[in-house]
C-alpha cells in the first residue's frame, strides 16, 4: 500500500516548463494545442495504461517538501492531510489535464469543494507544474494569489472558487450536465468533498438530480473522517446508492485502491468513491502525529519529553515534577 509517507520519497519524471507562469493572463504560448491530440486520448474505454500519463513534474519536487513550504511553521489539521493521498492519485494517475491544457474544452475537470483543505491542493498543483513552487512561500500573504480558499481567476488549473461548504457537488453536477449538453462526452468531472458537507441540504438535491439524470461523467470523492454531524445508516455510500449512483468505499491512504475505485467505473450512472481516513493521524516533517500527540518510533513524546504510561522518562529513569524519585 502506498501512503502519505511514501510521497516524501517520490520524484516524478520531467515536466512542461514554468516559463511565464507568473503572469496573470493564463494564456501562455503553450496553450495553442487546442486539439489535445495526446497519444492516450483515442482509448475509448479510458481505462488503459495511457490514463496514467499525467502532467509530469518539473524536476525532483516531492509533494511533502512542497507542503512544508506552505506550512512555514504553521500547524495543519487533519482536514489538510486527509485529502493529500486522494489529490495525489487524481493528478498523478487519473485526471486528463496538464498545465498546457487547462483551458481546453475536452480536459477533465476537478472541483475542490472542501476548500479549507487547500494547502495540499496547492502542493500537488506545484508538483505537477500548474503553478511555480515559489508561489507556495507566500501562501495567504497580502500579495499572494494563493488564498486560504482557491480562486479560479488567480490560480492556473483551479476550476472553481470555494467558500461556504456544500456548494461543490452542485457545481460539479452543473458542470457535468453542461458538458453533456455541449456534446462533450469524453471529459470527466471529479469533485472532492468532506463527509461533513453532506449535512448541507444542497448536496442531497445534487445527489438526487445526478442520479435521476444519469450523469455518468460525474465522480464524487467523499473524504470520510467521521466528521459528519449525523452520519447515515449503512455508511456514506448508501446516501448515494439510494439515488442510483454506483459506489466504492476504500482506504483513503491506499493509492492503488483509490486508483482502482476512481478508474474502474462503468455504466450510465454517476459514481462516488468514499475514501475512509482515520481522523487525527497526520505526518509532519516525517513525524507521525496522532490526535495531537507526537509519536516517534512508536514512543509518545510530549513537549520534547518521552512519556511512558503517563510518566515522564529521562535516560530510562522515571522523573516526576522534574526530579528522579
User: What whole-number percentage of the chain has pLDDT above 70?
Assistant: 66
What share of the chain has pLDDT > 90, as a percent?
48
| Res. 273 pLDDT band, cuts 50 70 90 | very high
H/E stretch holding 306 reads strand 305-308
User: Are residue 75 and residue 222 in the same domain, yes or no?
Assistant: yes
Mean pLDDT, all residues of the chain: 75
Which candidate, 102, 123, 115, places its Cα nearest to that of 187?
Answer: 102
310 and 232, same domain (yes or no): no
Cα angle 46-84-118, degrees, rounded to a multiple of 5: 105
Task: Write out the three cell numbers for 126.
Answer: 506545484
325 and 200 in a common domain: no
Query: pLDDT value at position 62?
Result: 55
Q: Hey, what's the cell of 115? A: 476548500
Residues 128, 99 contacting (CB under 8 angstroms): yes
- Asked, for residue 288, whether it belongs to a domain, the answer is no
Model confidence at 45: pLDDT above 50: no
pLDDT at residue 162, rounded to an integer: 85
Residue 290: inside a domain: no
- Give the number of domains in the chain: 2
Both 97 and 219 in one domain: the answer is: yes
Residues 99-137 as b/e (b if ≥16 CB within 10 A, e otherwise) read: bbbbebebbbbbbbbbbbbbbbbbbbbbbbbbbebebbe
DSSP secondary structure string for all residues of 95-144: ----TTSTT-TTS-EEEES-GGGHHHHHHHHHHTTSS-GGGGGGTTSTT-
**306 and 269 inside one domain:** no
Nearest to 145 by CA among 70, 54, 64, 57: 70
The alpha helices in the chain, defined as continuous H runs, are: 4-7, 63-71, 78-89, 118-127, 168-181, 201-213, 236-241, 255-263
Reading the block at residue 305, the C-alpha cell is: 519529553
> Does the pLDDT value for residue 153 go beyond 60?
yes
Assess if residue 230 is contained within a domain.
yes
Shared domain check, 254 and 313 = no
DSSP H helical ranges for 242-284: 255-263
Whether 291 is in a domain gets the answer no
Cα separation, 316 vs 246, in Å, equals: 55
| 169 and 229 together in one domain | yes
Domain that holds residue 313: 298-325
pLDDT at position 164 is 76
Specify if 217 maps to a domain.
yes
Strand order in the sheet with 317-319: 281-284, 287-290, 293-296, 299-302, 305-308, 311-314, 317-319
Residue linked to cell 517520490 = 10
Q: Same domain for 241 and 309?
A: no
Residue 289 lies in a domain: no
At 290 the pLDDT is 46
Assess whether 273 and 305 both reside in one domain: no
Whether residue 194 sits in one domain with residue 54: yes
- 208 occurs within a structural domain: yes
Indicate if 260 and 303 belong to the same structural domain.
no
Model confidence pLDDT, tens digit, residues 52-79: 333 332 333 358 889 889 887 777 878 8
Model confidence at 219, pLDDT cuts 50, 70, 90, reads very high
Q: Is 287 among the domain residues? A: no
CATH number at residue 185: 3.40.50.970
Question: Do 11 and 122 fall into the same domain?
Answer: yes
CA distance 122 to 136: 7
Residue 74's alpha-carbon distances to 66, 140, 220, 254, in angstroms, are 14, 12, 30, 27
Q: Give kind and range of the element (H or E) at residue 62.
A: none
On the question of pLDDT at 154 being above 60, the answer is yes
User: Quick check: 229 pLDDT over 80?
Assistant: no
User: In this predicted model, what pLDDT tens digit does every residue of 20-35 receive, in sequence order?
Assistant: 333 333 333 333 333 3
pLDDT of residue 294: 46
Amino acid at each position: 500500500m502506498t501512503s502519505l509517507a511514501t510521497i516524501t520519497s517520490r520524484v516524478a519524471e520531467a515536466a512542461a516548463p514554468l516559463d511565464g507562469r507568473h503572469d496573470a493572463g493564463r494564456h501562455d504560448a503553450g496553450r495553442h494545442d487546442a486539439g489535445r491530440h495526446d497519444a492516450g486520448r483515442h482509448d475509448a474505454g479510458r481505462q488503459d495504461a495511457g490514463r496514467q500519463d499525467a502532467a509530469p513534474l518539473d524536476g525532483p519536487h516531492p509533494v511533502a517538501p512542497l507542503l512544508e513550504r506552505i506550512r512555514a511553521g504553521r500547524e495543519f489539521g487533519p482536514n489538510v492531510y486527509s485529502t493529500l493521498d486522494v489529490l495525489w492519485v487524481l493528478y498523478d494517475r487519473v485526471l486528463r489535464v496538464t498545465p498546457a491544457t487547462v483551458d481546453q474544452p475536452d480536459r477533465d475537470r476537478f472541483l475542490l469543494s472542501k476548500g479549507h483543505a487547500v494547502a495540499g491542493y496547492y502542493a500537488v498543483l506545484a508538483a505537477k507544474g500548474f503553478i511555480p513552487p515559489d508561489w507556495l512561500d507566500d501562501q495567504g500573504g497580502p500579495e499572494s494569489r494563493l488564498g486560504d480558499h482557491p480562486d479560479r481567476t488567480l490560480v492556473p488549473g483551479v476550476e472553481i472558487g470555494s467558500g461556504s461548504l456544500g456548494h461543490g457537488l452542485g457545481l460539479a453536477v452543473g458542470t457535468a450536465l453542461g458538458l453533456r449538453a455541449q456534446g462533450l462526452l469524453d471529459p470527466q468531472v471529479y469533485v472532492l468533498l468532506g463527509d461533513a458537507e453532506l449535512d448541507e441540504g444542497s448536496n442531497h438535491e445534487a445527489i438526487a438530480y445526478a442520479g435521476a439524470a444519469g450523469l455518468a461523467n460525474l465522480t464524487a470523492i467523499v473524504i470520510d473522517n467521521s466528521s459528519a454531524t449525523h452520519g447515515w445508516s449503512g455508511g456514506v455510500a448508501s446516501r448515494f446508492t439510494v439515488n442510483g449512483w454506483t459506489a466504492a468505499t476504500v482506504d483513503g491512504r491506499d493509492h492503488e485502491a483509490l486508483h482502482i475505485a476512481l478508474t474502474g467505473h462503468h455504466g450510465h450512472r454517476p459514481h462516488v468513491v468514499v475514501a475512509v481516513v482515520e481522523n487525527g493521524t497526520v505526518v509532519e516533517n516525517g513525524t507521525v502525529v496522532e490526535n495531537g500527540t507526537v509519536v516517534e518510533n512508536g514512543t509518545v513524546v510530549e513537549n520534547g519529553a518521552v512519556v511512558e504510561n503517563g510518566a515522564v522518562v529521562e535516560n530510562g529513569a522515571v522523573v516526576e515534577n522534574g526530579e528522579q524519585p
